Amino acid sequence: MFELAKQRLDPVFKHIQVDDEVIERLSVAKRSIIASIPVRMDNGDLKIFTGYRVQYDDTRGPTKGGIRYHPRVNLDEVTSLSFWMTVKCAVSGLPFGGAKGGVMVNPKELSKLELERLSRGYIRAFADVIGESRDIPAPDVYTNSTIMGWMADEYGVILRRQVPGMITGKPVYLGGSEGRESATGQGALFALNEFVRRKNWDPSAITIAVQGFGNVGYHFARLAQKSGYRIVAVSDSQGGIHSPKGLNVEDVYKFKQQNNELASVYCEGSVCNTLEYEQITNEELLLLNIDVLVLGALENQITQLNANDIKVKTILEIANGPVTPQADEILEENGVNVIPDVLANSGGVIVSYFEWVQNRSGLYWDVTEVHEKLKKIMSKEANTVYDLALSHNCSLRTAAYIHGIKRLAGAIDERGNRKYFKSI
């Protein structure tokens, strides 16, 4: 997976010249740590979990990146995600490098008490290499604000003082930022809005399908529907639903929370009535004939095996790495615009940056101010990427990487390179 991630750089260097040392520095992670995390289970047994933290590059500032709990977490995956975070923070202009962490575990098999012990154990394992000026974690797949709160508390116990800025995505009552829960979905919508505006499209005429109807996918779909877009399909790990007339996003999510299944419903209070819809698989959702496909699940959803079957002309990546490099080439040849993950899903890390700033300054903003600041950054960076795609006659992904790599290369060069020292 990491080798695939690094392939994203190949097209970039056809458009811009950077010093060889930049390529060398960005080809490897600065630090990779694997730790054993012992957890006392509720039945008294001791179980050992494997935890990871990769700090890829800190040239532009302390590293930043989420912690995911998933059975398939491994060093290769975490390294790839930390590489993407490095580029993403640079694309957004944030004073951060990139990092990522994770634990190989199925959190659904743990009780809440076991989950808390695991989360506190993760911080004990990595406390020496994280901190508000060194490496700032955040939520990711199957982690949430409650888990971030436990982690912040454990870090405070170890240091004997409160350090809220050491982690972001915390509950608001524990120093979290207003607007953080919906930030990734909101940021993705801002990126899509700028693309739609430049194309002179009417949002009310645009149909959208969302793969991955979890927290991020739900907030994107909810906000997009509120902005006039028509959400016609959503899916989760169990499958999906499709209704050409459109879905009531908030009612569908409410029904899912109550019944653990997806259905097209209309709710009045606690009573939900089922509407006409079609059950589809995740694979079928990808092949729908709609306007915008939103990928908000896991990596490698569109590959060279199914890329030629994609009917949409615009893909919005909210998940990390849902389209492989080989699929990218096919999609580009077929005229499909992919608004890439390193731009589209950066709303989460941007508002995490806001939380970090608020924690360190002691000044807190309301949700309106957070959204205004998020929109300003997302709109600015999205338009820069869209302009670069036009000026370099390249894909949106390549344009985003050009934007981020220019900032990274500048920071690396300013620290001194071969050309500088040879001229002395």
Cβ atoms of 195 and 314 within 8 Å: the answer is: yes
- From residue 167, alpha-carbon distances to 87, 274, 360 in Å are 20, 42, 11
Cβ atoms of 396 and 389 within 8 Å: the answer is: yes
CA-atom Rg of the chain in angstroms: 21
Per annotation, catalytic residue among 64, 88, 100, 170: 100
The kind and range of the H/E element at 31 are: strand 31-40
Tokens 């969302």 sit on residue: 210
Q: How far apart are CA 82 and CA 97, in angstroms?
A: 9
Q: Dihedral sign for Cα 340, 18, 55, 95, please.
A: negative
Task: Please give the DSSP secondary-structure letter assigned to residue 302.
Answer: B
**100 counts as catalytic:** yes
Secondary structure E strands in 216-303: 230-236, 239-242, 265-268, 271-274, 278-280, 292-295
Q: How far apart are CA 214 and CA 143, in angstroms?
A: 12
Q: How far apart are CA 9 and CA 87, in angstroms?
A: 10
Q: Which DSSP string corresponds to 100-162?
A: EEEEE--GGGS-HHHHHHHHHHHHHHHGGG-BTTTEEEEE-TT--HHHHHHHHHHHHHHHTS-
Cβ atoms of 324 and 152 within 8 Å: the answer is: no
Q: Give the closest residue to 56 by CA, choosing from 77, 35, 26.
A: 26
Q: How far apart are CA 127 and CA 204, in angstroms?
A: 49
Q: Dihedral sign for Cα 346, 349, 352, 354, please.
A: negative
Q: How far apart are CA 62 and CA 132, in angstroms?
A: 8
Cβ atoms of 266 and 273 within 8 Å: the answer is: yes
Bridge-based pairing of strands 135-139 and 63-70 is parallel
Q: How far apart are CA 87 and CA 394, in angstroms?
A: 18
Which amino acids are annotated catalytic? 100
